[in-house]
Amino acid sequence: MTASPQRILAIDIGSGTQDVLLYEEGKPMENCVQLILPSPTQLVSVRIENATAAGRDIFLFGETMGGGPCSWAMEKHLRAGLKVFATEPAALTFHDSLEEVKGRGVSVVGRRPKGAVPIRTGDVQLDLLSKSLAPFGISLPQNLAVAVQDHGFNPSGSNRRLRFQYWEKFLASGGRLRDLIYRTPPVYMTRMAAVQKDAPGAAVMDTCAAAVWGILSDPHGPKLKKHGFIALNLGNQHTFGAFVRADRILGIFEHHTGRMSRDKIRDLITRFERKHLSNEEVFADGGHGCAYAPAFPARKKDWPVSVTGPRRSLVEGLGYSPAAPFGDMMLTGCFGLVAAFKALTKKKSPPRVQRTQRISKID
């Protein structure tokens, strides 16, 4: 009996957009269903803003999700003198410490107060996506791969510190690209765990990791990784650079795109590839950090740089190569998710997804 072609739903969730690819084996990638939609945090933000304009209190319920726009809308709602009620998982969207969230004016409750507008939180809305595609005769596959940027659960310290400890640990363990996608995410990655509650069985990975895998899906990717290059992802909120050679990452820096300029990015790249960029310098500047594996090949000659991301225009004129796998830069993360998922499924069958516990530091 002939096996059915593999189908994979890949969703790359950022702060501005959620990018969706329904990969179907045997079909040209250009003919696969592709969507660029507002991100979940943007959608929740609009619902909060509508309630603010109507002078209504709100009740947030659902899973922990990415913050940013929805957090800013929540704070504006409170400044307007209106009330915010939230269940515990929804409240953890705004800070890992519930006491901190309560201190901002949010009431953590177990049920919706009378009169409050209910607003569901969560990074994944499979039911909405399914209903949207159904009129076109398209059903969702069982294979799911989702990327989010998870800072890790750290109620008593800096999320930026904890997130970069994750990258440092990854480099120390060998920096293997295949280790960046999970059936069971690290226990402190509670946003990834929340995704798996709304999308049971989904493989999960970090958005920056998905971008690197996607850059490697560009026609120039295999040649670049043979000798080594810098993969640069300029997202709406985060800037991520990684030195990639063969199937390993040997160095990483991560910052916030809002603090970037053309000249600053060029300076960061120049000092990073010479191993002159320090972890403390990046953190003190409001970024996450910088780390190198022992095998990082610092040299005076510039490494090739391949850039992707919605803010890639920041580096126009610097001579960096644009990465547009299958001709579509906005789906770079989705193409990376598909490639990583395929690599994952080539391994032995993994253990069942287990419930993630929250901890405040990396073991």
**pLDDT tens readout for residues 178-200:** 999 999 999 999 999 999 999 99
- Separation between Cα atoms, residue 361 and residue 166, nearest integer Å: 10
pLDDT tens track for 345-362: 886 444 444 433 333 333
Amino acid at position 194, single letter? A
**What is the model's pLDDT at position 3?**
67
Asked whether residue 39 carries a pLDDT value surpassing 80, the answer given is yes
Average pLDDT, the chain: 91
CATH class label, 40-121: alpha beta
**What is the model's pLDDT at position 2?**
57
**What is the model's pLDDT at position 162?**
86
**What is the model's pLDDT at position 236?**
86
- Separation between Cα atoms, residue 127 and residue 198, nearest integer Å: 10
pLDDT tens track for 288-319: 999 999 999 877 678 999 999 989 999 999 99
**What is the model's pLDDT at position 22?**
98
Asked whether residue 203 carries a pLDDT value surpassing 50, the answer given is yes
**What is the model's pLDDT at position 301?**
74
**What is the model's pLDDT at position 347?**
60
**What is the model's pLDDT at position 360?**
32
Asked whether residue 71 carries a pLDDT value surpassing 80, the answer given is yes
**What is the model's pLDDT at position 159?**
79
Q: What mean pLDDT do residues 150-160 have?
A: 84
CATH class label, 147-345: alpha beta
Q: Binning pLDDT at 50, 70 and 90, where does residue 96 land? A: very high
**What is the model's pLDDT at position 146?**
98
- Residue-range domain boundaries for the chain: 40-121, 147-345
